[in-house]
Structure 1
Amino acid sequence: MDSYGYISAIALFIYVAMMLIFLAAKRNQIVNSFLLALLSMTCWTGGSCFMRALLWPNYIFWYHVSLLGLLCLPYAYYLLVNAMAEKEGSIEKYIYPVMLGGLFLLNIPDGILFHWPVIVHSGENIRFVYDKIDWKSVIFFAAAGIVVIHTLYNLIQCRKKNRKYARQMNIVIAGIVIVLGGNIALMLPVFAGFPIDILAGLINAFFLVYALAQRNLFEVTLLVSETACTVVGFLISVLLFWFLTPYLRSGMEQVLPGREDYYMVIYSAIFMLCVWILMEVWKHVISNTIVRDEAYQAEVLREFNTSVSKSLSMKNVLQELVEVIRKGCHIETVYICIASGEQGYQMMYSNNPLHDRSFQMKTDNPLIGWMRQNEECTSLDEFYHTVEFKSMWESEKQQLKNLKAQWCIGLKNEDGLIGVVFLSDKEKHKKVGSQDRAFLNSVATISSIAIKNASLYEKISEEARTDELTGLYNRKYFYELLHETFEENKEGTMVLAMLNVDDFKLYNQLYGMKAGDTALRRIADIIRASAGSSGIVARYGGKEFAVLLPKYDVYAAKLLVESICDQIRQMHQEGEMVHLKQLTVSAGISVAPYAAHTEKELLDNADLAVYHVKHQGKNNIYIYDIAEKELEKKNKEESNVQKNREYDATIFALTAAIDAKDHYTFSHSNNVMYYATSLASEMGLDEEFVEIIRQAALMHDVGKIGIPEQILSKPGRLTEEEYEIMKGHVESSIEIIRHLPSLNYVIPAVIGHHERYDGKGYPRRIAGEDIPLSARILGISDAFDAMISKRCYKQAQPLEKVLGILKEEAGKQFDPNLVPIFIQAIENGKIKVIYDAGQNPA
């Protein structure tokens, strides 16, 4: 057999082996197109080989088989390139097979376009001479050339549009050029008798396999099925035995001369032995190269899936992800970036604690956009040649290159790209192969689900331990953190600061719950930003915040709390809160171990410090000192008695001030005090509540000190502007009362005494039972005295008419349950009516 025959036989064997392997692979459009290309090359090579061997039925038949393969090859390439470029077929998809098939059928009877060769005998050798090639042959090859040119055009266009497949496209283009070059080289005398076209086709086949492997287009498990291994081993044995036959015959003639009857038996035994040995060797090689690695990766993947499906910790999932990549692919370095809201994609985990964790990418980073479109593990070298990479800032390019990563995988779910994994090459500078990429794609799919579950769990956990309104830790979780921090800092100092918002109930009563919630959120933001990462901030109560400061000293803590208090006082100086009253806080500081030896002492002492500030006038900071504890306890009772005396003196001083400006307001407050306390007693309320009513009645109009006298003494009806000014006396009263220590308890009655039961009153327009009971009592008493008394702008009304008005307004302006009690008490004489001097009781 000459060199042409040997090379053709080898190429034919390789083509058949490739076909068997790819027939067992997972089928898709690209694999199907490649199988057609392999079949075409098999027909071309096999037909040429069998034609030269003059096999049955005749060489002309094998010539046509070879020609058919040569014509089908361009069309197979056309389909393959369209599939790789993910391009829908056009009308040429149907025109080309008809055109090429028609020319082939036209040529069969007489070889009118491309005639079969003539056999020329030269001694023992034969040659095939194409002596009938003329201008009509150009038509034959021009048709195939059109398909080749169109295929090359599609390749180039795909390469321009999709740069990430540029390397694979370059390989395919090189393969086509080699095939064309090999066929053209046949015309050169230097290649006379040498199968340069067959060799070029063989090289092209390997180029195609490499290009498809780069795209990871087939599954390794199916490539190495037992049937494929058996058939390939058998073919290798047949080919080897064919090559060795002449040498075997020569050896047997020397060893057993004249014993031709035994030659067939010996041939069969040797053949069976060769087949068995080569098949076993082939299976062993495959098992120890591909199957073993794949089985190992499959086992690692199963273990990983089982492990992460049971974990709800993000840290554990990321740690398992790094370990499975390093274990399954022997990757040297792994970085994981996870989406974190507006911050983009932040480096969350890597296999080396010394790696730079500051790496992050914004959501509009071109690499992120590129990863959203890419479904598989991809080389960053491809990205470096894309338009997206060129559009990045130089700082972003340098930051990416500093990672020294060669591969990246997107972690995706139905919400989009949730993370990116960056990988270096394998250990010992080995490259990541197609089998590794298939493994990594599977890992990414499993990880995406696990990360989503862990994120949902951590989100639920975060919601359970944070305050819904402010986003700070809640009280329950703060206790856990306090315990952990106290245990960790037994050898050091720790400061606990409590900040209680002053008069916050009043703030809510004045402006409503919505404004109060806004203020709490602003305060929480100020405290959180001020404490930063060095402190633990929690919403300890409705209007109270706790700041735990490990390793702080008293001086540093006091400076921090002073800064927080100043910022809270100033937050109403701009924005939507500019017209609202200023808020302040009373802050208490406790320090361990100097003023507390246990967690409970730390909390109790901080609360006591806040209590101290509240009773010293609010809006201040107090540092708890254990040396003052006993003195404070001893003086507490005396202090309370003294303060109660001071409160009464203060109340009478204020009412005297009102009397100096408006005698009617002073006498009116005394009358309302009598009616209100009488009604409260008639209702059976306890003495403490009656005392609150008494003080509230005396103070309810104290804000009229700030009303101009011309409005207070105006004889006629007030204008709308004047009435609005007059209505402001309620808030003025509250503003005065809030500066009186421990008189907060009268505020609900004072602020609500002009509210109506039907919700049409002021200043808050609340209704029904939402109005405090003390305010409803005060409202009836205030209105009754106003109607029964003479004023500068009206005469006193008769008692019967006043009582009738009360009955009519029950359920509208007044509480319908209290009006009957008040009227019955007046009619029974239990409540005496106070008339002005000279007024006729009738």
Structure 2
Amino acid sequence: MGTYGYISIIAMLCYGFLLLMFLTAKKNKIINSFLVVLLGLLFWTGGSAFMRAQFWPGCEFWYQVSLLGILLLPYAYYRFILAFGGVRNGSVGRIYLVTMLICFWVNAQFGVFLESPKMIEKRGGQTFVYEINPSIIVFFIPAGLFLIHLFVILVRICKENPTMKVQYEPVMMGVLALFFGNAFLGIPFFSGFPIDILSGVVNVFLLFYALIRRRLFRLQMLASPSLCYGVGFLFSVLVFLNIMPFLQKILHMQPDNNITMYTLVFAIAFLITYAIFTYLWKLLIRSVFVREENHQAEKLRKFNSAISKTLDLQEILDRTIRVMKELMDVGNIYICMQKAPGEAYCGVASDQPLNDLAFSLEEENPMIQWLKDHEEPLVYRDFRYSVEYKSMWEEEKHHLDKKHTRYCAGLKDGDTLAGVILITADSGKKRLVYDEVELISNITSVASIAIKNARMYEKACIEARTDEMTGLLNRKYFHEVLHEEFEKNKDGSLALALINVDDFKLYNQLYGLKEGDLCLQHIAKIIQSSVGENGYAARYGGKEYAVLLPGYDLFSARNLVESIEKQISVMNNCRTDMKLKAITVSVGISAAPYAAKNVKELMENVDLAVYHVKHSGKNGIQVFDTMFRNANKNIVSTNRAHIYQEYESTIYALTAAIDAKDHYTFSHSTNVAYYATALATALGMNEDMVEIIRQAALLHDVGKIGIPEYVLNKADKLTDDEYETIKGHVESSIDIIRHLPSLDYVIPAVIGHHERYDGKGYPRRIAGEDIPLTARILCVADSFDAMTSKRCYKKAFPLNVAREKLLQDAGKQFDPDLVYKFVECLDNGTITLVKAEES
């Protein structure tokens, strides 16, 4: 058969191998057009090889097959190049196809353009000689014009999309290889050598590389079972044709002597060869491709499982970087995230802790815009040929080139680009592995979903923690932060300020609710910008703000609050329509551990400070800490002698109403006021708290006005209904006091004076230090007076008996610390027993 025939068979087998591969691939327009190219080349080389081997049905038939393949190749390349560039087939291609088929039919019938070659016997073998006539130009003119048209289309595609110029490079190199391979046939040096067949093989493998580079074909498809069997068969045919003469010589067998034995032996030999090559191919593919693919699949499975179980954004980014480093041979990996629409993408994570993250990509960056418009990752080397790259600033190009950028992938949150992954290569690594692009795409798609979930969770958490109108922390979350910071700052200082807007209801009436909302938002911005990262700001109530300052002492906290107060007072000065009501605030400040032992006490103290400012004329700042005020003359002390005088008439009016109905209740309230204020003084509480406790003691049973006298004065045991009626006096007291805004600061003490330290009291069944300190003091004083006073249903207990009962119930009904202090005061004479009045 000669060298030419064997080379033709090898080329044919290669084409058949590629044809089998692509028959197993997922079909699309480009793959289908490549299959047409392969069929054309297979017709050409197969027909030529079988013609020279003189296979059945004869040389004439295989010559026509080879000629048909050659004539159809330009059309096949036309379809492939247009599909590769995303251009629809035009009518010119169909005209050429019809023209070539007509010319082929005419030539097959009459041989007018190119006659069949004549076989000539020569020493050493046979050769085929073609007689070239001028009429062959009928084949060349349409083909030449068609190829020129194809070249024009190719130039237009590359001009419209410069990125395609890079993609077409291997395609054009393949076409040139095919062209020069056929052109070299006229050079004597290549006489008798199948340069045209070899150029066809080079051409088709360059096209194959272009498809892999375009990510239209995965090398892992080589492991498909049908391809393994097909490859085994092709290689078996090739090898068997070469070993058949040796088998005949070794076995001394000829087909004419014993056809049955000859067929059986050679069939067995072929099957053995086929089994060996199929097994070797499977072994090779599993070792090279399948094992690596299984490794990647396992890593991706673990990655998917890990990030699906977390809503921590930083953990998701770290795991994404880690899996990329494990599965790809790359340099550094950077992740840039956008905090809000319109902002730049700033570096937030990297594979190396010491990598510089102080860089950003602006949203207007052409590369960012490209990632927004495309789903697949960007190959930076290809991107350099695009129009988008040319429109980038030189500084941006330099920055990306300096990092040796290799890939750039987007992390999408729906239709928005939430983040960008930059993957770099070491300066010496120029090779691109195009399977990596699909791997990056798989990783980023999973990471994008996880990031979207994490952001939704983060958004839900922020919405649950912040006030919708002002953007500050809401009251519920502020209490959580307050408790956390109190625990963290037990050995330090923790300042708390409460900012209450004065007469805000009047402001709304003057300017409307919309302006009122804008006012609250403006105040919130002032507070937030003043506090910054040094503390926490919250909207504590409708017109009230809380500021928590870890590490701040009272001096620093007051200075900050004064700055806030000044900014609020002048915030509407530039508006002429806001002169009717200037915005002022009443502020209370307290700090732990100076003035509070726990969170509850800290809140009560700062709340009380605000009330004092309100009742002193508003528009002021009050620091709650007696020792601090006495030690520092620079802080102006407010004379409170007059503060409670305006309430005295109201308090005595209510107590007089109680006295008119039940004289015992009036005297009892007076006694409780004495015991409670004496205990508060012994505890070192300031004069403000002592006064609050006195007023709460006088009013704590005011709700008994609504209880029938027969129940109040009943000597026998109360029924369950009557007892429930008695218990209702707490809520009744609150209902009365609630309608007196000037006295509402006594409510915490009044509502909790029947709560028990063990949580078994009423009405709220709260326990321990959740009960306000003022209420715990009233509880001790109220119970002691109840035990030592004579009532219609019992005698008065002696002092020593009452004393022992207090100690017995310490930790149960009473705060043990308060009981021990109260007993101590009884023992040293600080508190004396009030003598009962004779009825």
Gaps of 5+ in 1: 648-687, 689-742, 747-842
Please say if residues 366 and 392 of structure 1, whose CA atoms lie closer than 8 Å, have aligned partners that are also in contact: yes
Task: Determine the structure 2 residue equivalent to 1:237.
Answer: 236
1:452 aligned partner: 452
1:481 equivalent to 2:484? Answer no
SS in 2 for 1:547: strand
Cα 1:520–1:366 change in 2 (3 A) is: same
- Say if 1:626 and 1:163 are closer, same or farther in 2 by CA, change over 3 A: farther
Identity over aligned pairs, percent: 43
**Aligned-partner Cα distance in 2 for 1:468–1:314:** 23
Q: How far, CA to CA, are the matches of 2:436 and 2:323 in structure 1?
A: 12
Residue 477 of structure 1, CA deviation: 0.9
Aligned to 2:824: none
Structure 1 partner of 2:324: 325
The SS at the match of 1:113 is coil
Moved more, 583-592 or 233-242: 583-592
Q: Is the 8 A contact 1:21 1:224 kept in 2?
A: no
Partner AA of 2:153 in structure 1: N
Question: Kindly tell me: are residues 605 and 426 of structure 1, through their superposed partners in 2, closer, same or farther at Cα, counting changes over 3 Å?
Answer: farther
Aligned to 2:210: 211
Residue 65 of structure 1 deviates from its aligned partner by 1.1
Alignment match, 2:19: 19
Does 2:441 match 1:438? no
1:149-174: CA deviation from partner (whole Å, max 9, x where unpaired):
22232222222222333322111111
Question: Which residue of the partner structure matches residue 699 of structure 1?
Answer: none
Structure 1 counterpart of 2:181, one-letter code: G
1:538 is displaced (CA, Å) by: 1.2
Say if 1:246 and 1:171 are closer, same or farther in 2 by CA, change over 3 A: same
8 Å CA contact 2:330–2:423 kept in 1: the answer is: yes
Match of 2:161 in 1: 162
Residue pairs, 1:541-560, within 5 angstroms: 541-560=541-560
Letter in 2 for 1:35: L
Structure 2 counterpart of 1:386: 386
Q: Which residue of 1 aligns with 2:756?
A: none
Q: Deviations over 1:245-284 (max 9, x none)?
A: 3445555569xxx999987766555443332222212101
Residue equivalent to 2:91 = 91
The residue aligned with 1:35 is 35
The answer as to whether partners of 1:22 and 1:223 remain within 8 angstroms in 2 is no
Alignment partners' CA distance in 2, 1:210 and 1:19: 14
Aligned to 1:496: 496
Residues 251 and 205 of structure 1, relative CA distance in 2, 3 Å threshold: same
Tell me the residue number matched to 2:604: 604
Q: Contact 1:308 / 1:317 at 8 angstroms: preserved in 2?
A: yes
Q: How far is the alpha carbon of 1:216 from its aligned partner?
A: 0.7
How far the C-alpha of 1:555 sits from its partner, in A, is 4.7
Q: What whole-Å deviation, never above 9, does each CA across 1:208-256 have from its counterpart, x for those lacking one?
A: 11111111113555442111111102221221232333445555569xx
Q: Map of 1:451-600 to 2, 5 A cutoff?
A: 451-574=451-574, 578-579=578-579, 581-600=581-600
Partner of 1:152 in structure 2? 151
Post-superposition CA distance 1:61-91 (Å, at most 9, x none): 1111111111221111111111121112222
Does the 8 Å CA contact 1:12/1:45 hold for their aligned counterparts? Answer: yes
Tell me which amino acid in the other structure corresponds to 1:640. Answer: I
What secondary structure sits across from 1:108 in the alignment? helix
TM-score, scaled relative to structure 1? 0.70
In structure 1, the partner of 2:421 is 421
Distance in 1, Cα, partners of 2:602 & 2:266: 98
Q: Report the CA distance between 1:343 and its aligned residue.
A: 1.3
Residue deviations 1:408-455 (CA, integer Å, cap 9, x gap): 223346524343322235999595533332233233333333333333
Please report how far the alpha carbon of residue 527 of structure 1 lies from its aligned counterpart in structure 2 after TM superposition.
1.6
User: Which region of structure 1 is more displaced relative to structure 2, 363-372 or 155-164?
Assistant: 155-164
Q: Alpha carbons of 1:580 and 1:98: their partners in 2 closer, same or farther (altered >3 Å)?
A: farther
In the other structure, the counterpart of 1:275 is 274
Distance in 1 between the 2:354 and 2:578 partners?
49
Cα–Cα, structure 1 residues 424 and 30, in superposed 2: closer, same or farther, change >3 Å? same
The answer to whether the 8 A contact 1:496-1:549 is kept is: yes
Deviation at 1:407? 0.7
Change in Cα spacing, 1:245 to 1:494, as seen in structure 2 (3 Å) is: farther
Letter in 2 for 1:197: D
- Change in CA separation of 1:638 and 1:582 when aligned onto 2, cut-off 3 Å: closer
Contact 2:166 2:385 in 1 (8 A): no
Segment drifting more, 287-296 vs 428-437: 428-437
User: What do the CA deviations read for 1:546-565 (whole angstroms, capped 9, x no partner)?
Assistant: 22233445554444333322
Letter of the aligned partner of 1:520 in structure 2? Answer: L
Change (3 A) 1:507 1:186: same
Q: Is the 8 A contact 1:409 1:441 kept in 2?
A: yes
Distance across 1 between alignment mates of 2:397 and 2:490? 47
**Cα distance per residue 1:601-646 (max 9 Å; x no partner):** 44334334434444444333344435269999x9998443446699
Tell me which residue corresponds to 1:640.
643
> Which letter maps to 2:370?
W
- d(CA) in 2 for partners of 1:342, 1:114: 69
Aligned-residue offset at 1:192? 0.8
Deviation of 1:14 after TM superposition, in Å, equals 0.9
Sort the Cα spacing of 1:165 and 1:606 in 2 relative to 1 into closer, same or farther, 3 A: farther
Report if the CA contact (8 A) 1:330-1:426 is conserved: no
Scaled by the length of structure 2, the TM-score of the pair is 0.70
Q: Give 3-state SS (helix, strand or coil) of 1:640's partner.
A: coil
Tell me if the contact between 1:426 and 1:432 (Cα under 8 Å) persists in the aligned partners: no
Indicate the SS of the match to 1:119.
strand
Q: 2:2 touches 2:125 (CA, 8 Å); kept in 1?
A: no
The amino acid that maps onto 1:75 is: Y
* Contact 1:169–1:211, Cα closer than 8 Å, also in 2: yes
> Kindly tell me: are residues 567 and 264 of structure 1, through their superposed partners in 2, closer, same or farther at Cα, counting changes over 3 Å?
same
Q: Distance in 1 between matches of 2:429 and 2:490?
A: 49
CA contact (8 A) 1:572 1:580 kept: no
Deviation of 1:497 after TM superposition, in Å, equals 2.9
Q: Which moved more, 1:182-191 or 1:401-410?
A: 401-410
Deviations 1:634-682 (A, max 9, x none): 99984434466999xxxxxxxxxxxxxxxxxxxxxxxxxxxxxxxxxxx
1:28 & 1:269 partners in 2: Cα distance? 40
State the shift of 1:107 in Å. Answer: 1.5
Give 1:192's aligned residue.
Answer: 191
Q: Residue 44 of structure 1 contacts residue 68 of structure 1 at CA under 8 Å; is this kept in 2?
A: yes
Query: Is 1:621 the equivalent of 2:621?
Result: yes
Q: Counterpart of 1:400 in structure 2: which amino acid?
A: L
Q: 1:186 is paired with a residue of what secondary structure?
A: helix
Q: Is the 8 A contact 1:224 1:291 kept in 2?
A: yes
- Structure 2 Cα separation of the partners of residues 640 and 578 of structure 1: 31
* Partners of 2:212 and 2:218 within 8 A in 1: no
Amino acid at match of 1:171: P
Amino acid paired to 2:244: T
Counterparts of 1:448 and 1:205, CA distance in 2:
38
Say which SS state the counterpart of residue 411 (structure 1) adopts: strand
CA RMSD, Structure 1 to Structure 2 (Å): 3.5
Match of 2:8 in 1: 8
Describe the SS at the equivalent of 2:342. helix
2:26 alignment partner, SS class: coil
SS in structure 2 of the partner of residue 549 of structure 1: strand
* Distance change >3 Å, CA 332–CA 584, structure 1 → 2: same
Amino acid at match of 1:573: N
Contact 1:152–1:173 (CA under 8 A) maintained in structure 2 = no
**Count of residue pairs the alignment pairs up:** 647
Provide closer, same or farther for how the CA distance between residues 226 and 72 of structure 1 changes in structure 2, counting only shifts above 3 A: same
Deviations 1:463-520 (A, max 9, x none): 1211011011101111222233333444544333332222222222322222111101
Alpha-carbon distance in structure 1 between the residues aligned to 2:365 and 2:297: 34
Contact 1:26 1:222 in 2 (8 A): no
* 1:737-788 superposed Cα distances (whole Å, 9 cap, x missing partner): xxxxxx9989xxxxxxxxxxxxxxxxxxxxxxxxxxxxxxxxxxxxxxxxxx
Q: Which residue pairs with 1:291 in the alignment?
A: 290
Q: Which residue in 2 is equivalent to 1:46?
A: 46
Contact kept? 1:572, 1:581, Cα under 8 Å: no
Tell me, in whole angstroms, the C-alpha distance in 2 between the residues paired with 1:400 and 1:500: 53
Determine if the alignment matches structure 1 residue 142 to structure 2 residue 141. Answer: yes
CA contact (8 A) 2:371 2:377 kept: no
Structure 1 residue 59: Cα displacement: 1.5
